[in-house]
Amino acid sequence: MTPKNAAQLKAAVATLSWGASFVATKIALRECAPLTIIWIRFLLGLPVLFLLAAFSERERLRKEGFTLARLRSALPERREWLPLAVLGFLGVPFHHLLQSTGLRTAQAATSAWIVSTIPVFIAILGWLFLKERFGKRGVLGLLLAATGVLAVVTKGHPERLLLLQDLGAGDFLVLLSAVNWAVFSVASRKFLGSSGPEKSTFWVMALGWLQTSLLFVFSEHVLEPAALSGVAWTSLLFLGIFCTGLAYAFWYDALRTLPASRVGVFLYLNPLSATAVAAVFLGEVLTGATLAGVAAIFCGVWCVNSR
């Protein structure tokens, strides 16, 4: 398997697991607050990321020889701490608080369809900051996807945006998290020019989890983990091991190999797994207006990312 094909496979696996994460988060939200979910999720995911980073460093040290200087190189350089901390904030507490809070009222499947617009935002930011191509077809795709988002968020009644009725605050929070994730991905792609994916992923998530911990330990939810049921812990284990540890590592590795817009297109798979899992575990259904919006989003994402 070529490095390009391996990166494509990793991007696909990451986005499929993130699609299912909407349902797992909805299940966990029945028993605990969004902040508790984020804190436990990344606490469980960090050991996986650490093992992946340690394995990568071990292979490098085995080839280059073990010295104290090379061992210290596993730590970020002084100039890297600030961008790592900013990426940690965007990728962990800010992104997931927006998403988890939004999922309190938004349907899991609908949220995944909204998140499928991320490739459009990534393509725009990649064109602006990474000089990636974005032509007339991209503009058409952007308009199509924006129309689709409008149909999904307003459930076929765009006049609600003017009447300020039934806006679905949860849906808009999820949409804001989608924009934030595009910013996070493009910024990560730029930062990876000087850092390896395994080490960068671990430190970004570790610093993001530490920032989340500052919020969690002083919150009213600090005792919630002790009262969680087995079902909630099963959802959290899935979120931590697969949707955080493995998925984030795969996503960063794909960003190192492929242009940001090419990686973003795999988020097109995200709603497929979310819809399938939500139908099985939550009994959610899609309305006609939502399906029409979904079709527009699909067409828009395809136009933006196809060549």
Q: Mean pLDDT, to the nearest integer, of 138-162?
A: 67
Q: Mean pLDDT, to the nearest integer, of 209-220?
A: 94
Question: What pLDDT score was predicted for residue 164?
Answer: 43
Question: What pLDDT score was predicted for residue 212?
Answer: 96
Neighbours of 79 (CB within 10 A): 8
pLDDT interval class at 53 (50, 70, 90): confident
Question: What pLDDT score was predicted for residue 145?
Answer: 75
* Higher-pLDDT residue of 137, 76: 76
How far apart are alpha carbons 216 and 35 in whole angstroms?
Answer: 7
Measured in whole angstroms, how far is the alpha carbon of residue 33 from the centre of its chain?
Answer: 19
Q: Which residue has the tokens 């797992």?
A: 24
Quick one: CA torsion of 184, 221, 242, 51, rounded to 10 degrees?
80
pLDDT interval class at 114 (50, 70, 90): confident
Question: What pLDDT score was predicted for residue 110?
Answer: 66
Percent of the chain exceeding pLDDT 70 equals 77
* Selection from 249, 253, 250, 251 nearest residue 46 by Cα: 249
Residue 30 near residue 255, CB atoms below 8 Å? no
Residue 239 near residue 93, CB atoms below 8 Å? no
Q: pLDDT digits over 103-113, tens only?
A: 777 766 666 66
Question: What pLDDT score was predicted for residue 59?
Answer: 62
**Count: domains in the chain:** 1
Q: What is the pTM of this model?
A: 0.78
Q: Mean pLDDT, to the nearest integer, of 289-293?
A: 74
Residue 14: domain span = 3-305
H/E/C letters for each residue in 153-182? HHCCCCCHHHHCCCCCHHHHHHHHHHHHHH
Question: What pLDDT score was predicted for residue 41?
Answer: 94
Q: Which residue has the tokens 């490098």?
A: 60
Q: pLDDT digits over 247-281, tens only?
A: 988 988 888 888 887 787 777 777 667 766 776 77
Percent of the chain exceeding pLDDT 90 equals 27
